[in-house]
Amino acid sequence: MKRKSILSILLTGALAISLVGCGGSKSNEDTGSAAEDKTITIGVSPVPHKEIVEQAVPELEAKGYTVKIVEFADYVIPNTALEEGELDANYFQTIAYLEESNEGKGLHLINAKAIHLEPLAVYSSKVKDIKDLADGATIAVSNDPSNEARALRVLESAGIIKIKDGELVTPNDITDNPKNIKIEELEAAQLPRVLDEVDLAVIPGNYALEAGLKPSENAVYIEDAKTEASKKYQNVIAVKEGNEDSQKIKDLTEALTSETVRKYIEEKYSDGSVVPTF
């Protein structure tokens, strides 16, 4: 198959991509290496990542940068785009997901800076209290390895199942299932859409927020975000290996860990659905 530009594929495919140019753009004739260094293209999930990046744009503009924000609707393509050089950075994933993607897909991406944590929560349109979960219930979880393992650990901490030790555990690793629950594995983006079809769904924070779900108001169980284990689920700025010491990446991480950004996250998500980690 002939290789196409990833961004071209996205622009003509099912994903809705928004390229937001911030600051004064330069003409094609004016683009030398210096101009290239003053453009930052960053891939994000719409919520909360895009809105957080937007808070950092003024500081970057003040340093002469043009910031292009590219929205992605899934967890796969933004890492492929970063690996192929279509992006300077992306901001959508946890440390655990980044590590699993590198190992599973042969990527060469690194964590440039941890920005926030989204506590994982369990939602339901049928169950008011997780203790009332019926025998034989169906629970939907993400089908990617790191988010699935995280979801299973959350169910374990809620007392629903027990799982053997290990990192990327799967339903096959369940050692005790007293309620005979059934695990349904789906793409993370699909989870909010099946709430009426399953008994529980363990939904990653960004997709829950996009669907208007708030852990403090709508969840029947919430992950403890203060444990040592939760650190690997911090959302990070990822870059291609070798680019982490470039000036643009240093400036990007500095802007995203500013007091302006911290204050925005704390005020916008005062319910604790997004927690700054810097």
* Residue 57 maps to a domain: yes
What pLDDT, on the 0 to 100 scale, is given for residue 12? Answer: 32
Q: What does pTM read for this prediction?
A: 0.84
The confidence score (pLDDT) of residue 155 equals 98
Tell me if 79 is assigned to some domain: yes
| 223, 240, 268 - which closes a domain | 223
Q: pLDDT exceeding 70 applies to what percent of the chain? A: 87
Q: In terms of domains, do 46 and 150 share one?
A: no
Q: Is residue 1 part of a domain?
A: no
- Specify whether 17 is located in the same domain as 112: yes
pLDDT at 26 over 80: no
Instruction: Answer whether residue 193 is part of any domain.
Output: yes
Query: pLDDT tens digits, residue range 86-120?
Result: 999 999 999 999 999 999 999 999 999 999 999 99
Identify whether residues 110 and 12 lie together within a single domain.
yes
For the segment 2-6, the average pLDDT, to the nearest whole number, is: 36
pLDDT in tens, 164-205: 999 999 999 999 999 999 999 999 999 999 999 999 999 999
Q: Is residue 137 domain-resident?
A: yes
Q: What is the token pair recorded at 174? A: 């369940």
Let me know whether 128 and 109 are in one domain: no
In this structure, the answer to whether residues 15 and 91 fall within a common structural domain is yes
In a domain? residue 48: yes
Q: What is the pLDDT of residues 31-41, one digit of tens each?
A: 445 445 899 99
Q: Are residues 96 and 180 both part of a single domain?
A: no
Q: Average pLDDT, whole number, for the chain?
A: 89
Say if residue 270's pLDDT is above 70: yes
18: CB partners within 8 A, 6+ apart:
69, 70, 71
**Predicted confidence (pLDDT) at residue 27 exceeds the cutoff of 60:** no
- Residue identified by tokens 């909360």 is 48
- Same structural domain for residues 243 and 219? no
Q: In terms of domains, do 244 and 113 share one? A: yes
Task: Note whether 175 and 101 are same-domain residues.
Answer: no
Q: Helix, strand or coil for residue 45?
A: coil
Show the domain range for 169.
121-223
Q: What is the pLDDT of residue 8?
A: 35
Supply the pLDDT for residue 37. Answer: 86
Cα gap 222→44, rounded to integer Å: 24
Greater confidence, 12 or 202?
A: 202
**CATH code for the domain of 181:** 3.40.190.10
Residue 17 lies in a domain: yes
Give pLDDT tens digits for 134-171.
Answer: 999 999 999 999 999 999 999 999 999 999 999 999 99
- Considering the domain architecture, whether residues 105 and 127 belong to the same structural domain is answered as no
- The stretches of 23-163 forming alpha helices (DSSP H) are 33-37, 51-62, 77-83, 95-105, 145-157
Say yes or no: 145 and 69 in one domain: no
* Residue 150 belongs to some domain of the structure: yes
One domain for residues 191 and 103: no
What is the per-residue pLDDT for 36? 58
Q: At what angle do helices 247-256 and 51-62 cross, to 10 degrees?
A: 120
Look at the chain and report how many structural domains it folds into.
Answer: 2
